[in-house]
Amino acid sequence: MAVERIFKDEASEEKGERARMASFIGAMAIADLVKTTLGPKGMDKILQSTGRGREVTVTNDGATILKSLHIDNPAAKVLVDISKVQDDEVGDGTTSVVVLAGELLREAEKLVAAKIHPMTIISGYRMAAECARNALLQKVVDNKEDAEKFRSDLMKIAMTTLSSKILSQDKDHFAKLAVDAVMRLKGSTNLEAIQIIKKPGGSLKDSFLDEGFILDKKIGIGQPKRIENANILVANTAMDTDKVKIYGARVRVDSMAKVAEIEGAEKEKMREKVQKIINHGINCFVNRQLIYNFPEELFADAGILAIEHADFDGIERLALVTGGEIASTFDNPESVKLGHCKLIEEIMIGEDKLIHFSGVELGQACTIVLRGASHHVLDEAERSIHDALCVLSQTVNDSRVLLGGGWPEMIMAKEVDELARKTPGKKSHAIEAFSKALSAIPTIIADNAGLDSAELVAQLRAEHHKEGCTAGIDVLTGAVGDMAELGISESFKVKQAVLLSATEAAEMILRVDEIITCAPRRREDRM
C-alpha cells in the first residue's frame, strides 16, 4: 500500500544519510571559502554586488565576506551566523571560528562514516572542548596590575590583530592609535565615543588620532570661526519656516499686500524662535535639520556659530561627547542641558574643512582620522581598525592574554590528545578528532604562507611536548619561532569565544538528520 504524500507539491525533504551529507558539505564549503584569509599571509576577497552601481568591496574580514553571501544551504547559514555573533561579541576571530567549525565537521564526517553515532561524537566533542578551555586557562597571563606591562600586552594584541589585515605594513602606527584610543575609554566597551572619519587622499601612514571630536561640516557664512569656552545647544528642529512654502499651503488673498503680511508673520515666528534659542546663553548651535539664510543671519548677528544638517550619528555622538542633550523645544531654557567644550575651530584635513571640538566634557572621546588612496582602502582600513578596537576594549575588561601564532591551538590539541588516551569507549575517537581539528588551524596558517605545513606542524607538536614551551609558527621566516620573543599575543576572550562557538555550531549541524524545504507560496491569479 502506497503512503499518501503529506507535503505539498514542490516541498522536498532529505532524510538520514543524504541530509547529513548536505549539511556537512555546505558547512565545509563555507569554511574552505574563508580559509585562505586566515593568518598574516591570508589573501583578500573581492565582493561585487549585483545591485545598482555594482559596488565592489575588497576585504579579508571573515564576517564581512560571509555577511555578503546569499546562501541556500541551511548548515552554511549556521556558520555565517556564528561568524556574525563573533564579530559583534569580540570583534576578531571571525574567520577562525568558521574554519574551526568546518574542521570539526570534516572530522565528524569520517567518524559517522565509521558507524559512530552522532550523539557519541557530540558528547566526545563536549568533553574535549571543556578540556581545551581548561588547558588555556592554565596558561593565561594577566598583567592587569602592572600598567606598563599591560600596555605592552595591548600593543602586542593590536599588532597581532592587524597583522592579517590591510594595515599590516604600518601595524606599529595603527596599533598605537588603537591602544591610545581604547586607553582613553578607561574600561568602558562603548566604542561610540571613538569616531572614525575617512578622508581619501594621503597614504595610510598619514592617519592620526585626534583628541576631541571632529564634525564633518563647514561653518556658516559670517559667523565666528573660533570660539573658546563654548556652550553648545544640540537640537533637532526645523529652522526653515521663514518663507511661505507655495507647494504645501493654499492661501486665498485679495491682494499682494496680504501675501507680504503672511510672510512677515512667518518671519516674526522664526525671529521669536531664534531669540528663544539665543536666550539659552549659548555661543554654538548645532542643528540636525536645515537652517535657512534668514535665521542664519540672525545667529551671525548674535555672534553665534550655527551648524546645519549635522548627520544623525554626528549629532548623537556630539551630544554624548559634550555632555549635552538633544533638544527640540526651547520654551524653558533651564530644563535644557547644554554641552560644553573648551575650543571650537575650523581645521583642514586634505582638501576639506571640518569643525574641531577640543577639550570636551567626556574626556574619553577621540576621533581617528583615516587617510588612504581610495574608498576601498579606507573601508577596509576602517573594518580592520574596528576589529582592533573591539578586541582591545574587551581585553581591557578581561585582561587575560595568550600567545598567538598557532600556540594556543597546539596547547589545546596536546591536552585533548592526552584526554583521548585516558577515555575508554567510542568517545575517545571523537576526542581525538577534536584535537586533529584544532591542529588544522596552524596547518592552514602555514599553508596560506606557502610553507610546508606537515613538516612545521610536526615540529611544533614535538616542541610542545617540552614543559613551558612558547613555540608557534613564525610565517615571516617560515620556521617554528618563539612567540614570546616575537611578541605575538592574542586575547583569551577571543580564543575562548572561537572555541566554544565553533564547538556548539558543529554540534548543532551534527544533530541534523532531516532537512525539509517547504513549498513556496503561490501567487493567486488575480485576473
Catalytic hit among 37, 57, 94, 161: 94
Are 218 and 277 members of one domain?
Answer: yes
244 and 328 share one domain? yes
> Per the domain annotation, does 378 fall within a domain?
no
Residue 268 lies in a domain: yes
Q: Is 61 a catalytic residue?
A: yes
- d(CA 68, CA 47) in angstroms, rounded, equals 8
Task: Provide the grid cell at 302.
Answer: 548674535
- Per-residue confidence at 507, pLDDT binned at 50, 70, 90? very high
* pLDDT at residue 92, rounded to an integer: 85
328 and 217 fall within a common domain = yes
Catalytic: which of 87, 153, 170, 387?
387
Helix, strand, coil percentages in the chain from 3-state DSSP, rounded to 5: 50, 20, 30
DSSP 8-class letter at 289: S
Inside any domain, residue 444: yes
State what percent of residues in the chain have pLDDT above 90: 19
- Tell me the pLDDT tens digit for each residue of 278-302: 888 888 888 888 777 778 888 888 8
> Could you tell me if 233 and 286 are in contact, meaning their C-beta atoms sit under 8 angstroms apart?
yes
For Cα atoms 147, 152, 158, give the angle at the middle one, nearest 5 degrees.
Answer: 125
Lowest-confidence region among 214-223, 335-344, 500-509: 214-223
Is 222 found in the same domain as 352?
yes
120 is catalytic: no
Do 305 and 287 touch, CB atoms closer than 8 A? no
Tell whether 172 is covered by a domain. Answer: no
Look up the CATH number of the domain holding residue 493. Answer: 1.10.560.10
CA distance linking residue 157 with residue 388, whole number of Å: 8
68-77, 111-120, 122-131, 434-443: the lowest-pLDDT one: 68-77
Please indicate whether residue 395 is annotated as part of the active site.
no
* pLDDT tens-digit series, residues 479-499: 888 988 888 888 999 999 999
Catalytic position from the list 37, 59, 95, 367: 95
The range of the structural domain enclosing residue 332 comes to: 213-362
How many folded domains does the chain comprise?
2
Residue 177 lies in a domain: no
Q: Say if residues 498 and 93 touch (Cβ distance below 8 Å).
A: yes
pLDDT at 431: 94
Decide if 9 is catalytic.
no
- Contact at 8 Å (CB) between 284 and 307? yes
pLDDT, tens digit (0-9, with 9 covering 90-100), for 14-38: 887 888 888 889 899 999 999 999 8
Residue 163 lies in a domain: no
- In this structure, of 102-111, 266-275, 491-500, the range with the lowest mean pLDDT score is 266-275
Report the predicted TM-score, pTM, of the whole model to 2 decimal places: 0.84
Q: Which one from 37, 61, 367, 503 is the annotated catalytic residue? A: 61
- Rounded Cα gap, residues 115 and 225, in angstroms: 77
Q: What is the pLDDT of residues 126-149, one digit of tens each?
A: 999 999 999 999 988 888 788 888
Question: Are the C-beta atoms of residues 430 and 417 closer than 8 Å to each other?
Answer: no
